[in-house]
Structure 1
Amino acid sequence: MKINLSKILFMITFMIGLLISISSNNWILIWCGLEISMMSFIPMMTSNLIITAESTIKYFIVQSVSSSLLMLGMMIMIMKGEYNYDYLVKSSLLIKMGVAPFHNWVLTVVEGMTPQIMFIMLTINKVAPITIMSYMLSSMILLICLNAFMSSIMSINQNSVKKLLTYSSIMNMSFVLIIIKLNLMWTVYFFMYSILLLMMTTLMINFSVIYINQIILTNNKVSSNILIWMIMLSMGGMPPLVGFSIKYMVLQAMINTKMYLTLSIMILTSLIMMMVYLRMTFISMMNSSISLKITIFNMNYSSTMMLIINLSLIPMILLMKLLN
């Protein structure tokens, strides 16, 4: 395997910027760490895809606007007087995270990325903004509900696996923002979700799946299909898998804090997202069952007779009922 030393160097500087941001007690150093991470991440986006250059420019423009808002908020913060700098700082961090209603840029940028870089942007790249957001004291319940609704509803009509994973990431950011004051809990949630997303990204690379309907065209072994189904069901939050366990942990914390209205909204939107993943699972399951039937049909004479008997049994019973 050919090793790209330039990307390794940029990955090291990216992690250094991330560590500077999450370990600093100075707003200027936090801003510098975010800028180092941004300038290190842009060269890593280079690939053989045609729209990579467009995605890179869009990412640079959006992140530059976000950094400008953060710097403006910090300048207002040190000024004397009653100024609501919280809104500027919070808006800049939400733009960096790609959370609704500032999520449209993420959908256009991920199409020009390789699955590996998409995974880094949807997971590691969000650690610093989430950590800084945990320092803020204001509540974001309305924003969290809006984020959950938009991500779940917009994911229903998606055919691209990249966009579907992006909406799933936006949806999971709602759960992270709810428990953002509980440092240990949001860290565990984010870590487990990153593992699930890594599994899904690995499946995209191994089976060369970019669109949902390509799942039908893949001729995999039964064990591979079972693995795909389990990971997709876990991403959707089907009990008793890992994806359900981490969401149950958040829901239990919401019950303890008596956030019943927000709890019902999160459950409703999670069910919509689970329906999307179940649709993908059913598509692959139906294709697998059809291919198995064809295989059985071509195996031998006895299997053909069993298939004919099974298919003609119901019409025979109905015919006997009519004759009686």
Structure 2
Amino acid sequence: MKMNSSMMLFTTTMLMGILMSISSNNWIMMWCGLEISLISIIPLMVSKLVASSESTMKYFIMQSVSSTMLMLSMLVMVMSGDYNYNYLMMTALLIKMGVAPFHNWVLTVVEGLDLIMIYMILTINKIAPITLMSYTTKSLMLIILLTVITGSLLGLNQNSVKKMIGYSSIFNMGFVMSVLKYNWMWIMYMFMYSMLLMMLLMLLHKNKILLMNQMTFIELLTNKLSMWMVLLSMGGLPPLIGFSIKYMVMLYMISMKMLATMAMMLMTSLIIMFFYLRMTFLGTMNYSMIVMTKMFQLNEMSMLILLINLITLPSIMMMKMFT
């Protein structure tokens, strides 16, 4: 994605639409903000990749269908009579968020996009639907369980790194939805997850990795260690920063007496940890002894990633102050 005036314009209007959605006090203006962000992100998705046009069209169709359902639920809401519009509205927002059982569009869309657009779709563009979902009153327990099970089990047999990132995003959306009624907590979770995903995508772009088998071709040990640290953090291994946000969710769910759901989420986290470890083993175990002498030649990016991931214990102490 080239930096030019058109890209700056569409990025600005996309962010403006998201801010409009999360700051409005009526549903029509929220819907308008979602449409502004959708129509702005479509031109940004087109790139030189072969499948980018297909991914753009699929994304546009799915978001248009969910926007139509959302508008229909709003019309039913203002009609007189005892109509149950909550389920229609919830389905529309779940499609926009890309969680199970409405998750298939995420995987087909991310496969044809470049890494910058994958980041924008999986993090920034989900803020508005998550905010709107926090206004609903229906229980999401079944959706949370479906999401964490789908995101963990279906990511096991993937060779494409982009699809694995897609399944990881679906899995993390389950954690976000479990703390949806506590605004500070899901905002903190999304911020930390977005930061980890940005570091991972930067490393993938730097080393030109698209498939899991290509992890063995990372030459510098510093890049391998950085990839290893980020993947372990995204899997939630203590004492890294990815563990602190999962620990925060776990404490909240214990306080809300949602023990069975929390147990399922912890078990699926182990599956997620398994395929992240598989990626790290491919990167660190092969040919590492050849470049072991370069271990201490750390560049600035590696040191920054190491420092960010090792500030977890102060973060946990801060979170204990707020919970």
Shared fold per TM-score greater than 0.5? yes
How far off its partner does 1:75 sit? 0.6
- Alignment partner of 1:268 is 2:267: yes
Match of 1:245 in 2: 244
Match of 2:123 in 1: 123
Q: 1:213-264 CA deviation, whole Å, 9 max, x = no partner?
A: 10112212x2221111000100111111011110000001111111110011
Match of 2:153 in 1: 153
Q: Which has the larger radius of gyration?
A: 1
Taking the TM superposition and a 5 Å limit, the aligned residue runs for 1:70-219 are 70-219=70-219
Q: Structure 2 unaligned runs (5+)?
A: 295-323
Q: What amino acid sits opposite 1:263 in the alignment?
A: M
Q: What amino acid sits opposite 2:237 in the alignment?
A: M
Q: 1:254-278 CA deviation, whole Å, 9 max, x = no partner?
A: 1111111001100000010011101
TM-score in terms of structure 1 length = 0.88
C-alpha separation in 2, matches of 1:280 and 1:3: 32
C-alpha separation in 1, matches of 2:289 and 2:53: 41
Q: What amino acid sits opposite 2:59 in the alignment?
A: Y
Q: 1:82-108 CA deviation, whole Å, 9 max, x = no partner?
A: 211011111111111111110101101
Q: What amino acid sits opposite 1:255 in the alignment?
A: I
Taking the TM superposition and a 5 Å limit, the aligned residue runs for 1:24-63 are 24-63=24-63
C-alpha separation in 1, matches of 2:21 and 2:288: 50
How far off its partner does 1:292 sit? 4.9
Match of 2:318 in 1: none
Match of 1:231 in 2: 230
Taking the TM superposition and a 5 Å limit, the aligned residue runs for 1:293-304 are none
Q: What amino acid sits opposite 1:217 in the alignment?
A: F
Runs (4 or more) in structure 1 with deviation over 6 Å come to none
SS of the residue 1:147 aligns to:
helix
How far off its partner does 1:2 sit? 6.3
TM-score in terms of structure 2 length = 0.89
- Alignment partner of 1:255 is 2:257: no
- Structure 1 residues 288 and 232, CA, compared in 2 at 3 Å: closer, same or farther? farther
Q: What amino acid sits opposite 1:43 in the alignment?
A: P
Q: Structure 1 unaligned runs (5+)?
A: 296-324
Q: Which has the higher contact order (CA 8 A, sep 6+)?
A: 2
Match of 1:279 in 2: 278
Q: What amino acid sits opposite 2:264 in the alignment?
A: I
Report how many residues are paired.
Answer: 294
C-alpha separation in 1, matches of 2:3 and 2:190: 29
How far off its partner does 1:289 sit? 3.3
C-alpha separation in 2, matches of 1:249 and 1:132: 22
SS of the residue 1:186 aligns to:
helix
Contact 2:203-2:223 at 8 Å conserved across structures: no
C-alpha separation in 2, matches of 1:219 and 1:201: 17
